[in-house]
Amino acid sequence: MKNICIYQDFLTQAHKAQIRETAEPLGFTPHFFTPDQFQEAQACLQNCEILYAHDTNLLRSAPASLQWYCCSYAGVDPYCKDPALFANPHCLLTNSNCYGVTIAEHVIMVLLMLLRRMPEYEALVQNRGWGDQLPIRSIRDNQFTVLGAGDIGVHVASRLRGMGAARITALSRSGVSRETVFDEVLQISRLDEVLPRTENLVMALPGTAETYHILNRARIALLPQGAYVVNVGRGTAIEQEPLAEALNTGALGGAALDVTDPEPLPQDHPLWTAKNLILTPHISGNMTLGYTCDANVEMFCRDLQNYAAGRPLNGLVDRARGY
Amino acid sequence: MKNICIYQDFLTQAHKAQIRETAEPLGFTPHFFTPDQFQEAQACLQNCEILYAHDTNLLRSAPASLQWYCCSYAGVDPYCKDPALFANPHCLLTNSNCYGVTIAEHVIMVLLMLLRRMPEYEALVQNRGWGDQLPIRSIRDNQFTVLGAGDIGVHVASRLRGMGAARITALSRSGVSRETVFDEVLQISRLDEVLPRTENLVMALPGTAETYHILNRARIALLPQGAYVVNVGRGTAIEQEPLAEALNTGALGGAALDVTDPEPLPQDHPLWTAKNLILTPHISGNMTLGYTCDANVEMFCRDLQNYAAGRPLNGLVDRARGY
């Protein structure tokens, strides 16, 4: 039997049974560890061909015989930036595309909160005030630009579509998508041309050298007056100081950031007090939703079958490209 | 020429032109007034057959020759409760079903805020805190009960459906609907049977004698532990003190009220401090969204054509029934 080291905190008994029932007929024995068993996991890992986890320290102690690191997160930038984490330079790396549903629900929530000026109404009601005169906007008949046409971008777009969005433009490195939910898919190199007509910008990009500060000061200035910005990808994608300035001057209508650089934000960071900013502590895609956990295990099991059969892995990441 | 008195604050020049272009070929002259012209409107109204407004005081001074009062609001309870408002007992009353889109967006927003525990995250971030361990729920695979299968209920259900809701039950007086967006439509008399399996209750009922305190103490107790309640109909539909108690004890997971009884809430009302309550000052369907205003004028013009042709009016209200 070959061995799989599984180091996760979210697995239920049912998830473990599902993994065992998938692995054993394929000749694999899964070994389960929780975060309080780091040393036990480390010891076991020495005889494992596969690791299913999201922990750079554990990966660092994996043997050169590790063939596949299945990361249960979507963002794998820490693993791609530091090739020294892998003793085996050819180790396969997969990420998990199970976060589309929960992150898309987060995006719809914060977009509606921005469009409907909920932070202002919340502040009013917190002081036991009443009133109804703030002009609002709607998803219906509105325009959206989505940076990143992957799992998250597609789930966001399908929900915007269902709510009557007028036009959804996606931008990605390739500029093509098999998905029909976007009105158009353009290459990210055309970003400067698209920003001036972007009323609502949703950013769901991986953290790579190419996406670092992709929304910089000059591009923030290209957005139309009153535009909204939502980021659920990586905090490094936005130059944060000009964003805070544009919020405070009213050049932007508002923003919702679930990711920042760094995380947590330092206590004296200007984003804490920026106007019309909905800040959340990187929770849009966490593992506190049962559906996400189920889908995560489902994807590992499916790729385990692919791995055993010698087929390409669905979640395969290009370690050089970074996603 | 016959006259129409129009007393509104939201009309643009384009709306006025649209009304003129509809009315004049039908033999009607529209007269436009804004809220600072109450006396002028009152004087003009004496020679008018139609009034398009939302003002009980203006209606009270209408002549017995008024044939149609087109109310630009959806809720017409003030007009139905007090027949003395109409000098003409047979005056037609219509309401406006143009609020479905904006109220449905509000409902989706607050449902997601409740399911994703946004009030708790907002409190955390307000104190510059960070953390991600709150269990959340999703619209996907979740169950929803909608009280009221009208314009608002249908728009809410179609959005829930688009986000993957598992089961949507609607309850209405008739227990039937031409809409296919619900999984089932039941008579409101079966409410006690449906509440124990209701994870999320959305209330969009008109304010009538039958809906008064329809969610009373006994029925709040029928909801399962941790259920969420959203009300965008009328504040009178909920017995508010037991609701506040159920929120504070944690029997309910949370609530979002856009309507209360009375409005505004008195400064010492227990709802101001109830746990996990998202309170908004009756804004889910206000006239600050361009789409809503356009649809409102559109509906008036369509019913003006119906009126002139002697056809039934789309927005006709049964004044005795109350909606």
Active-site residue flag, A217: no
Would the CB atoms of B163 and A128 count as touching at under 8 Å?
no
Q: What's the pLDDT at A1?
A: 81
Helix, strand and coil content of chain A, in percent to the nearest 5, comes to: 40, 20, 40
Question: Cβ contact (<8 Å) for B102 and A133?
Answer: no
pLDDT digits (tens, 9 = 90+) for A56-75: 999 999 999 999 999 999 99
Which residues of B participate in catalysis according to the annotation? 234, 282
The verdict on a CB contact (< 8 Å) between A118 and B130 is: no
Say which of A20, A116, A282, A302 is annotated catalytic: A282
Contact between B105 and A140 using a beta-carbon 8 Å cutoff: yes
Among residues A234, A302, A311, A319, the one annotated as catalytic is A234
Residue of A111, A128, A268, A273 to mutate, interface with B, max B Cβ within 10 Å: A128
Give this complex's ipTM: 0.94
Instruction: Compute the count of residue pairs across chains A and B with CB atoms less than 8 Å apart.
Output: 128
Mean pLDDT, rounded, for A187-196: 98
What's residue B218's pLDDT? Answer: 98
> Is A67 in a helix, a strand, or coil?
coil
SS3 B217: helix
B23 within 8 A of B305, measured Cβ to Cβ: no
Cross-chain residue pair A132–B288, CB shorter than 8 Å: yes
Is the pLDDT at A39 greater than 90, yes or no? Answer: yes
Q: Within chain A, how many helices (H) and strands (E) appear?
A: 11, 12
Å between B130 CA and nearest CA of chain A: 5
Inter-chain CB proximity A288 and B140 less than 8 Å: no
B252/chain A closest Cα distance in angstroms? 19
Hey, is A74 helix, strand or coil?
coil
Contact (CB, 8 A) for A69 and A92? yes
For A148, A154, A170, A232, B4, the CA distances from A173, given in Å and listed in that order, are: 8, 15, 10, 18, 58
CB contact under 8 A, B109 and A105: no
* CA-based nearest distance B132→chain A, Å: 6
Q: pLDDT value at position A92? A: 97
Inter-chain CB proximity A129 and B101 less than 8 Å = no
What gap in Å lies between CA B26 and CA A183, rounded to an integer? 41
Looking at beta carbons, which residues of chain A come within 8 Å of B115?
105
At B79 the three-state DSSP class reads helix
pLDDT at B132: 74
**Shortest Cα distance from B319 to chain A (angstroms)?**
28
Q: How far is A316 from chain B (nearest CA, A)?
A: 27
Contacts of B145 (CB under 8 A, 6+ apart): B168, B169, B170, B171, B194, B195, B198, B200, B201, B202
CB contact under 8 A, B163 and A108: yes
Identify the CA nearest to A183 among candidates A157, A150, A209: A157
A282 flagged as catalytic: yes
- Which residues from B are below 8 Å from A264, CB to CB? 130
Which of B140, B264, B265 lies closest to A291 in CB terms? B140
pLDDT attached to residue A322: 87
Residue A66 C-alpha, separation from nearest chain B C-alpha, in angstroms: 31
Q: What is the pTM of this model?
A: 0.95
Type and span of the H or E element at B53:
strand B50-53
Query: Which residues of chain A are within 8 Å of residue B108 when distances are taken between CB atoms?
Result: 108, 112, 163
The pLDDT tens digits of the residues spanning A91-125 come to 999 999 999 999 999 999 999 999 999 999 999 99
The Cα diameter of chain B in Å comes to 68
Question: pLDDT tens track of chain B, all 323 residues?
Answer: 899 999 999 999 999 999 999 999 999 999 999 999 999 999 999 999 999 999 999 999 999 999 999 999 999 999 999 989 999 999 999 999 999 999 999 999 999 999 999 999 999 999 999 987 899 999 999 999 999 999 999 999 999 999 999 999 999 999 998 889 999 999 999 999 999 999 999 999 999 999 999 999 999 999 999 999 999 999 999 999 999 999 999 999 999 999 999 999 999 999 999 999 999 999 999 888 999 999 999 999 999 999 999 999 999 999 988 88
What are the tokens at B231?
């009300």
The answer for B155, left when phi > 0, alpha when psi is -120 to 50, beta otherwise, is alpha
Chain B CA closest to residue A140: B101
Residues of B in contact with A109 (CB under 8 A): 109, 112-113, 116, 118
Task: Provide the pLDDT for residue B121.
Answer: 96
Record: contact B279-A125, CB cut-off 8 A? yes
Query: What pLDDT sits at residue A286?
Result: 85
Q: Cβ contacts (< 8 Å) between A166 and chain B: which residues?
A: none
Q: Looking at chain A, which residue has its C-alpha nearest residue B292? A: A138
Contact A95, A74 (CB under 8 A): yes
Of A121, A159, A164, the CB nearest to B280: A121
B238 phi and psi angles, rounded to 5 deg: -115, 135
Q: What pLDDT is stored for residue B133 in this prediction?
A: 82
Are the beta carbons of A138 and B108 separated by less than 8 Å?
no
